[in-house]
A and B are shown apart, each in its own frame.
Chain A
Amino acid sequence: MKKPFLHNVETDSICQPPSPSVIFVDRAFRMLARLGVILVFSLIVVLVLEIGIKALPSIQKSGLDVITGTVWDVGQQKFGILPAIWGTLYSSLIALFVGGFFGISMAIFLTQDFLHPRLAAIFRAIVELLAAIPSVVYGLWGIFVVIPAIRPLTDELNESLGWIPFFSSTLSGPGLLPAALVLAIMILPTIAAVSQDALRAVPLRTKQAAYGMGTTHWEAILKVMVPTAATGIFGSLVLGLGRALGETMALAMLIGNSNQISLSLFAPANTLAAMLALNFPEAGPSEIEVLMYAALVLMLITLVVNVLGSMIITYAQRGMK
């Protein structure tokens, strides 16, 4: 009896269980991939441990005094990072207000039928290019463009409204406001991108229902679209805050590296990341310990904010489905 097909294939060479060598390669490769995953996971553990262990001597020596101290004087061996924590939070919050406003309006502008698709693509490219420019270039630009540009305005504000604590000093070169403005530009693309995703996830029929009730374009946006996407938009702000807290170079170049706590927008200040960048290269052993402490504080702050942000966004995406 003639079996079908068998005449033109050599059964033995094609239909066979995997050879021992193939099985070995398979097992070895799977082990290798598992090892890769374990390495990725252990990297974050080692990163936290390494910084924690290096900071331990300083934590044991001075405990919370470092966090509450306001003086940084290497000569007297006094190390306090409260002004840097204050500067980090203050500059990030200003950047969040400015960057948040422009980022969210950009997201609305790009998703809510204001533009011809081709024009929208141009604006989208502009936002993506803003994200692509390295932070050190923003720092350079801030020194030579932003500071000279806002100085006349700040002088005027100080002269006429100097009794308000926010305007109580003049801008003498680097300061909090130019740093925060550049920071706002840097976090804007993050906020715009994540908010756009949130707004796009709102089902089309929700918008159609709003128009069907006779709302204007903006009533639909402000009373239906934005509230529906609110959780995702909020998540974008938290992620933007996370980026602002950890941003280093632009701030190191623009904020003035001065350890003082002041409400004034025009006074020089300091941030944790900028302090690390500026002091680390020339630090002695005892200063390194404290800087490791500061690095640990910075890591904890950003970790909490980032984990919170991604949890909010996951929650928002789940709610949309």
Chain B
Amino acid sequence: MNETSLPESTPSLQRKLEGRALRSMLLSILVWISAILTSIPLFSVLYMLSTRGGARLNWEAFTELPPAGFEMGGGFGNALVGTLFMVGIASLIAIPLGILAAIFLAELGPNSKLATIARFSAKVLAGVPSILAGVFAYATVVVTTGTYSAIAGGVALAVLMLPIVVLTAEESMKMVPKIMKDAAYGMGCTHTQVIWKIVLPTGMPAILTGVMLAIARASGETAPLLFTALFSNYWLIQDGRLDAMNPTASLAVLIYNFSGMPFDNQIELAWAASLVLVIIVLIINAISRIFGKPKF
């Protein structure tokens, strides 16, 4: 009996698809299917944007005013300008204030009671629905000035950007190595000098990532603009005069308004405007990613 064979009762070491192994296999297939199902909406959105939006995207779309009713042609030039202008106002308010607050939270008094309260409020603010930022800007700016305006829209967007800037800038500054700061303090630097010469330059790429994310978020927001900036069929700059205290158009509100209209021309324009809006948001996201590559 030279033959060597395993006794029959020994369980096979080969993988058989039954029992527990089979269950594991089936679950893996399930999770693959669900991952692919999850990706379908994205590709569907991108497909619709490129076919329906791309078809209408021409030079006219960028330079002309929105069409009214049965009019053919037209574009969303004023809405593009309006979006850029209001995001600009919001950035002017939110970025300096946010970074200033983050400096205090990260460097000047990270464990003070004030910092704990402010950090908590920034987190709460980050979770506030965007429409409430609009309600707030309506109650403070629109009611006080008596008119819908680009300024009110900018304030509403700033409320949404501020917590993102504060929280990401604080995290970025905390990542600056402590030895670098200690070295500067050891040389006799004041707090301010350490912050301006060490912390801000070293943390800047990461801070800019957060800033870019905040700008991307603000560019796509609609709800806070609905009843702060409202909408307008005219240019923001008329006869060489900037009209910041009148209703102002934005891409997002244009998409919303046109999506419910029964005219094909307007719906095509809504798709084209969506394509432009998504491209803007994606470009800003891509820039933030370039900054965001970790350096240390």
With A and B bound together, what is the CA distance between A162 and B221 in angstroms?
39
Q: Which residues of A contact B121 (CB under 8 A)?
A: 40-41, 43-45
Q: Is B124 an interface residue (CB 8 A)?
A: yes
Q: Which residues of B contact A41 (CB under 8 A)?
A: 114, 117-118, 121
A134 touches B222 (CB 8 A): yes
From B41, B132, B274, contact of A246 by CB (8 A): B132
- Name the distance in Å between B61's Cβ and chain A's nearest Cβ: 16
Q: Which residues of A contact B211 (CB under 8 A)?
A: none
With A and B bound together, what is the CA distance between A227 and B32 in angstroms?
21
Q: Is B197 an interface residue (CB 8 A)?
A: no
A54 touches B139 (CB 8 A): yes
From A216, A249, A277, A306, contact of B127 by CB (8 A): A306
Interface string of A233-257 (1 = CB under 8 A from B): 0000001001001111100110000
Q: Which residues of B contact A246 (CB under 8 A)?
A: 127-132
Q: Is A132 an interface residue (CB 8 A)?
A: yes
Nearest B-chain residue to A247, judged by Cβ: B129
Q: How many residues of A contact B (CB 8 A)?
A: 83
A126 touches B190 (CB 8 A): no
A245-297 with Cβ < 8 A to chain B: 245-249, 252-253, 273, 276-277, 280-281, 291-292, 295
- Do A295 and B34 contact each other (CB < 8 Å), given the known contacts A36-B100, A132-B216, A277-B226? no
Seen from chain B, the residues whose Cβ lies within 8 Å of a Cβ on chain A are: 20-21, 23-24, 27-28, 30-32, 34-35, 37-39, 41-42, 44-45, 48-49, 52, 97-98, 100-101, 103-105, 108-109, 114-115, 117-118, 121-125, 127-136, 138-140, 159, 162-163, 166, 188, 190-193, 195, 216, 219-223, 226-227, 230, 252, 255-256, 259-260, 267, 270-271, 274, 277-278, 281-282, 285
Seen from chain A, the residues whose Cβ lies within 8 Å of a Cβ on chain B are: 17-18, 22-23, 25-26, 29-30, 32-41, 43-47, 50-51, 54, 101-102, 105-106, 108-109, 114, 123, 126-130, 132-141, 143-145, 185, 188, 216-219, 222, 239, 242, 245-249, 252-253, 273, 276-277, 280-281, 291-292, 295, 298-299, 302-303, 306-307, 310
